[in-house]
Amino acid sequence: MGAPRLSRRQFILGSGTALMAATARPRAARGQARRGQVIAGLSERMLTLDPANHYSISSTSVLRHVYDPLLDVTNDDKFVPALAESWKPINNTTWRFVLRRGVRFHDGTPFTADSVVFTLKRVRDNTKLIKSFVYQDIEDVRKDDDVTVTVTTKRPFGSLPAHLTMLGMLPPTTGANEDAFFTKPVGTGPFRFTSWTHGDHVELEANAGYWRASVPKVDKLTFRFIPELSTRAAALRAGEIHVIDRVWPDMVSTLKATPGIKVHDIPAVEAQRWHFQLAREAGKDPRVRKAVSLAIDRNTIIKELLLGYARPVVSPVPPGLIGHTNLGQKPYDPDRARTILKQAGHQNLTLDFVLMKDLYPKQLEIAQAVAAMLGDVGIKVNIRNLEIATAREQRTAGNYDLFFSGWAHMPHDPDWYFGQWFTRAGAEKMTRFNDPRVEQLIAEGRVPDPKVRQQKYEEIQKILWEDEPEIWPYYSVAIYAVSDKLRNFEARRDYYVLLHEVAIA
């Protein structure tokens, strides 16, 4: 036979590998090479490529791959530098940002303070933009030098950094022709924009020159928009996509039973809230509100209907956010509820419980369960599951007693929640809430000092906890399902699907 000889094929392969190793670029030697394509299935369609023109959690998450904001928020609720290396409040109405050096946009133009000035002034001045109203409190944005920006505000704006985590920075050249810019947008992010098919999918490719080393780890990224959960899950189970978001509790067992798939869950920065209409007969009376709260068995809802994928509420602001505190859990006491109702003279109460179609997992089921629980203490509930636009009109008109809603804290700051729902101006076309003490505290809580804010928010929540203008039945849990091929996936509390660090096996 003779000595073993390399087959022709082996020889060619061998030489090829040697050749590749010899000419390999230094970058590959630094760490794991970038390769592969990741496909994510998201539940919500992205509607625009303009970071200033939407208020959707899902779009924020997608656009975060193309644009960088000044700062990011981590999954344990800390604010960390992104395009800004540091930031601090100079006084109650002034913030100063120091920017990162050496960052370039995808088209090569350098990122400087001009970009920040442009982006902030644009969102404030163009009132057609959806985010504009948030930034109306900005007085001026001044460029101190290429890497320093000073922002002055009309009144204290302690939550400005939090809002800025959601605003991607744009190159100043955008202003020349916005429509053209947004057909092929350019940011500083880890991925470049390739294409977008409205309502179907968006494709991105890696930005080799990203300012953070070894990010990203994949060549291509595709986000598919698949609102139907069973379809999303089927695509994952069939190996067509690698990660899905917004999984409902009942789908978990099916996914776990599928080989090659892992399910991740984590308590979210979201509290469900069912708000009373405080101008109607039922909502006006604090005793009725108390009775309703006592009659709802929150633990059963969490355990039986949400299969444990929810957490009991101990304060309106969820854990991880400034202002979270522990006020104890609300009790379940139907007997006391009945007594209170009798004393208050409300024997034959009827409540209209309005839901917005399809918004929250199992909401129809939960509403029916609540209707049964309230029925047990003598309150009749009419469930009105309406399509979203009609439901909102009914809310504005005040045509409801209890309204099924939730609040995911986006940005990671409760100031907006309080400002919208618990000030007179904010609540006037909604719940009609009006409490001067709370209003005062909210204004005082807007200062940048975190210790002051924590104290003010605790006081506010003590008042609300006692007054119960809303029912907070549970904190939501975010559930994701991921293919085993995907490495480094982090299940986020804010429902973002961020794929900067993931690699494909």
Partner 1 sequence: MRRVARHPMIVVGGLILAAVIVASAAAPWLTRADPLRPSFAQRLRPPQGFGAVHPLGTDNLGRDILARVLHGGRLSLVLAATAVALAAGVGVAVGLSAGLIGGRLDDFVMRLADVQLAFPVIMLAIAIVAVIGTSAAALVGVLALSGWVLYARTVRAAVLTIRETDYVEAARTLGAGNLRLIGRHILPNTLAPILVLGSSQFATMVLLESGLSFLGLGLQPPQPSWGLMLAEGRDYLSNAWWLATVPGIAISLVVLGANLLGDGLRDVLDPRLRQ
Partner 2 sequence: MRAYLLRRLWQSAVTLVGVSVLVFVILRVIPGDPAKMLLPEGAPQAAVEALNRHLGLREPLWIQYALFVRSVVRGDFGQSFQYRAPALRIVIERVPATIQLALTAMALTVLAGVPLGILAAVRQRTGWDYAGTVIAVLGQSLPNFWLGIMLVLLFGVTLRWLPTSGFGGWPSLVLPSVTLAAFPTALVARLTRSSLLEILGQEYIRTGRAKGLGEPRVVLRHALRNAMIPLLTVLGLQIGTLLGGAVITESIFAWPGMGKLVVDAIFFRDFPVVQTILILSATLFVVINLLVDLLYTILDPRIRYG
128 scored as a contact of partner 2 (CB under 8 A): yes
111 or 407: whose CB is closer to partner 2? 407
Q: Which of 312, 314, 271, 315 is nearest to 410 (CA)?
A: 271
Smallest separation, CB 267 to partner 1 (Å)? 22
76 or 228: whose CB is closer to partner 2? 228
Measured between alpha carbons, how far is 468 from 71 in angstroms, rounded to an integer? 35
426 scored as a contact of partner 2 (CB under 8 A): yes
With CB under 8 A as the contact rule, which of the stretches 106-114, 134-142, 246-254, 422-430 interacts with partner 1? Answer: 246-254
Buried b vs exposed e over 144-178: b needs ≥16 C-beta within 10 Å?
A: eeebebebbbeebbbbbbbbbbbbbbbbeebeeee
387 scored as a contact of partner 1 (CB under 8 A): yes
Any idea which residue has 């700051």 for tokens?
413
Single-letter amino acid, residue 72: D
Measured between alpha carbons, how far is 210 from 215 in angstroms, rounded to an integer? 7
Within 10 Å of residue 78's Cβ, how many Cβ atoms?
A: 10
47 or 307: whose CB is closer to partner 1? 307
Q: Which of 133, 144, 177, 260 binds partner 2 (CB under 8 A)?
A: 133
Q: Which does 5 bind (CB under 5 to 8 A by kind): partner 2, partner 1, none?
A: none
Tell how strand 138-145 and strand 94-99 pair up: unpaired
Smallest separation, CB 405 to partner 1 (Å)? 15
x-or-dash string of contact with partner 2, 428-467, rule CB under 8 A:
xx--------------------------------------
With CB under 8 A as the contact rule, which of the stretches 120-128, 194-202, 357-365, 478-486 interacts with partner 1? Answer: 357-365
β-partners of residue 41 are 224, 244
- 29 sits in the region (left: phi over 0; alpha: psi -120 to 50; else beta) called alpha
x-or-dash string of contact with partner 2, 183-222, rule CB under 8 A:
--------------xxxx----------------------
248 scored as a contact of partner 1 (CB under 8 A): yes
**Using CA of residue 306, residue 312, residue 317, residue 319, what is the dihedral sign?**
negative
376 scored as a contact of partner 2 (CB under 8 A): no
Within 10 Å of residue 73's Cβ, how many Cβ atoms?
A: 25
β-partners of residue 270 are 408
231 scored as a contact of partner 1 (CB under 8 A): no
Task: Count Cα neighbours of 499 within 13 Å in the Cβ-side half-sphere.
Answer: 31
Applying CB under 8 A, which residues contact partner 2? 45, 47-48, 50, 53, 55, 127-128, 130, 132-133, 197-200, 224-228, 230-231, 234-235, 237-240, 387-390, 392-394, 396, 405, 407, 416-417, 419-421, 425-426, 428-429
Applying CB under 8 A, which residues contact partner 1? 229-230, 233, 248, 250-251, 253-254, 300, 304-305, 355, 357, 364-365, 367-369, 371-372, 382-387, 390-391
